[in-house]
Amino acid sequence: MSNKEIIKETRIETDSLGDIKVPKDKYWGAQTQRSIENFKIGTDKFPREMIRAFGVLKKSAAMANDKLGLLDNSKLKFIVKASDEVINGDWDDQFPLVIWQTGSGTQTNMNANELIANRANFLKDGKIDSKSIHPNDDINKAQSSNDTFPTAMRIAIVEQVESKLLPSLNNLKLGLQEKQKKFKDIIKVGRTHLMDATPLTVGQEFSAFVYQLDQVEKSLKQVLPFVKELALGGTAVGTGLNTHPDFSQIAIDFINQETKLNFVSGENKFALLASHDAEVELSGVLKKLACALMKLANDIRLLASGPRCGLGELQLPANEPGSSIMPGKVNPTQCEALTMVCAQVIGNDTAISIGGASGNLQLNVFKPMIVFNLLNSIRLLSDSMKSFQSKCINGLDICEDVVEEYLKKSLMLVTSLNPHIGYDKAASIAKLAHKKGLTLRQASIELKFLSGEEFDKIVDPKNMINPKK
């Protein structure tokens, strides 16, 4: 008998639709199995962050129900132990469901309920199917998928923003600040429309990157309080049916003990079930970050192009051979990886925007897609910024001789003559210099607009990098 013909042992699980066979070695139950069979769509699964968030949520809900006297206390320690195992990643392989399922995430909520109930039963009674701890009546007590799934979403999202995205962003910003200081006195030719423009310092050029990232960091911190509002306690439509009035706050207090992230009970649970405006806003900030990083990476690789037949002002670290056929080639690979990430994040934002705009009446049914794309964006941005900082920015250097040569040849230094001889005469100098291959000084003298001494006194790049009285 071939491996493909081996039939796994099964057990019978039951839900409101009847009996269904479940692999005997799995802790999930009937509703999870039905989802496996009904949604064979793609390979995208819920990531570890979301599974952990469900463990935190189910543990906290059980502790809240116990504190309120609504859960048989003899069950609590087994539910907590099973939930802790989910939090720690012991059963990630038993969350098999794809993203592309019911838009409320009901099957994944039940996956968590069934796994924790059956694992708790095993810990308590030594067998999975003892049924003394029930997935709906005990693990899902005072909850609905409609409020637990968006709560788990936000736990996962905020944890990743706080622990990964913000540190990576700040480290990249600090790395760019170091380059800004290191290159602060090097004057170079500016470029607008990809054409020569007036001078600035390399430090000034890098200060723009730093400022962009600083603004994104502020935007992230401004939106986070909205993402920290949790829907838990709203149950099916936002009314809180089947919950104790104090359940939401007590459960969220336990969530905060576990995460240390200061979540709050949402002011309007109806809105938190029916819409995902905070997620849309956060995704917009991630798109803003992607746009800033796209600009940064493209500028770096443009300025480092060459090394002999491009701009060649910057020198990239040589991390790996750049070509399988051209010996000695070094490519801007970190820039390329970062810009691909940025394109993906912008695409994710489009999907999230559509999802956020598509709620119907009392429920938004794009929840799995929204959280999948948000966590994907957060992870990609966090990882790529960390890589870009350590593998590109840290080792980035400047080719001062190239920068100086470009500055000497720039025709746009003529701009400093405007206040002295007027725009039209200055333009004539630039045109003549370009046409005859002269320096600006030589063209000024030939046109008899200025003497050499007068030109030298006025045209000094050091006097062109700041406003002058």
Show which residues are catalytic: 193, 323
Say which residues have a Cβ less than 8 Å from residue 107's Cβ, sequence separation at least 6: 31, 32, 34, 35, 39, 97, 101
**Residue in 222, 120, 125 with CA at minimum distance from that of residue 166:** 222
β-strands 10-15, 18-23: how paired? antiparallel
Give CA–CA dist 276/366, Å, rounded: 9
Whole-angstrom CA distances from 309 to 159, 306, 313, 325, 402 are 46, 5, 11, 19, 12
**List of residues 6+ apart from 32 with CB closer than 8 A:** 22, 96, 97, 107, 110, 111, 114, 115
Chain centroid, CA 1 distance in Å: 48
3-state secondary structure labels for all residues of the chain: CCHHHCCCCEEEEEECCEEEEEECCCCCCHHHHHHHHHCCCCCCECCHHHHHHHHHHHHHHHHHHHHCCCCCHHHHHHHHHHHHHHHCCCCHHHCCCECCCCCCCHHHHHHHHHHHHHHHHHHHHCCHHHCCCCHHHHHCCCCCHHHHHHHHHHHHHHHHHHHHHHHHHHHHHHHHHHHHHHCCCCEEEEEECCEEEEEEEHHHHHHHHHHHHHHHHHHHHHHHHHHCEECCCCCCCCCCCCCCCCHHHHHHHHHHHHHCCCCEECCCHHHHHHCCHHHHHHHHHHHHHHHHHHHHHHHHHHHCCCCCCCCCCEECCCCCCCCCCCCCCCCCHHHHHHHHHHHHHHHHHHHHHHHHCCCECCECCCHHHHHHHHHHHHHHHHHHHHHHHHHHHCCCEECHHHHHHHHHHCHHHHHHHHHHHCHHHHHHHHHHHHHHCCCHHHHHHHCCCCCHHHHHHHCCHHHCCCCCC
Overall residue count recorded for the chain in this entry: 469
